[in-house]
Amino acid sequence: MAEKQWIYIDGSFVDSADAKVSVYDHGLLYGDGIFEGIRAYNGRVFKLDEHMDRLYNAAKAIALDIPLSKEEMGEVVLESCRKNGIADGYIRLVVTRGRGDLGLSPKKCPKPTVFCIAATITLYPAELYEKGLNIMTATQRRNKATIIDPQIKSLNYLNNILARIEADRVGAAEALMLTEDGLVAECTADNIYIVRKGEIWTPPIHLGILEGITRSTVIELAEKNGYTVREKEFTVFNLVTADECFLTGTAAELIAVTEIDGKVIGTGKAGPVTKALLALFQAHTREESSGTKI
């Protein structure tokens, strides 16, 4: 028999079979809610404070009053790991608007729903970190930040999912999403970077991308180790003709992209800058200062 998995939901830990939300929850009915994907490494939750800040900033942006303080929510994450014996794994923390009625108004939702899942995750096999990913350019464009700001990690990921469907149809590992003007924005679940003549370029936040915590960490590590990082607009042409390309995200960490739309990028394998940054990131995740002890 599989070991019991404990899920935190609204103040209690319950068996995963008993972890339920109402069919009237506005997170389910309308995607009205927010979430964080968080990693645990070597008995520590990586960048817990930064994840809490982003969660509560997103809540403020959508006028959602979380019924726990940041400190209490952080303890929910830590206790979820303890209860499930997670020293290295992935945590999904979700806050929905809560149970309401079939109308849109949040006023009919008196109490948000909070749940937390702590489990293990493997997004890509180890060999792809050397070989690199084959991605494609989606026809689905990235949401404009002037309509729904992608910096809010909302439960409505349909924009990303439609692009992901395109990738799945052609057997690509990821889908690149462009802005309405054809500029590179991000992939469906990861931030993107290119390396050109030793410089690292990544799209700026104003193009409508998520300000990823792994993104911020990698930029900081790169600059500390002598790399020039530019938050700069660029096109698919710049990506195809780059020396290297890589993605970052909570689940993926840092992984090379070596082909897009059938065109080889660089040497067709993970390049030296990508490998160096991955090593720096992995070393950083093992530092005591990078996480909160479980």
Classified as helix, coil or strand, 8 is: strand
Alpha-carbon dihedral of residues 280, 285, 286, 291, nearest 10 degrees? 150
- Going by C-beta distance under 8 Å and a sequence separation of 6 or more, which residues neighbour residue 283? none
Q: Can you tell me the distance from the alpha carbon of 114 to that of 94, in angstroms, rounded to the nearest whole number?
A: 6
Q: Which of 47, 153, 224, 269 is catalytic?
A: 153
The number of angstroms, rounded, from the C-alpha of 117 to the middle of its chain's C-alpha atoms is 15
Q: Is 234 exposed, middle or buried (0-12, 13-18, 19+ CB in 10 A)?
A: middle
Q: Is 280 exposed, middle or buried (0-12, 13-18, 19+ CB in 10 A)?
A: middle
Report in angstroms the alpha-carbon separations of 288 from 54, 181, 220, 252, 284.
21, 43, 17, 21, 9
Q: Can you tell me the distance from the alpha carbon of 229 to that of 149, in angstroms, rounded to the nearest whole number?
A: 24
Classified as helix, coil or strand, 177 is: strand
Q: Is 54 exposed, middle or buried (0-12, 13-18, 19+ CB in 10 A)?
A: buried
Q: Contacts by 237-241 with C-beta closer than 8 Å and gap 24+?
A: 238/184, 238/194, 238/196, 238/201, 239/176, 239/184, 239/192, 239/194, 239/265, 240/265
Q: Is residue 153 flagged as an active site residue? A: yes
Residues carrying an active site annotation = 153
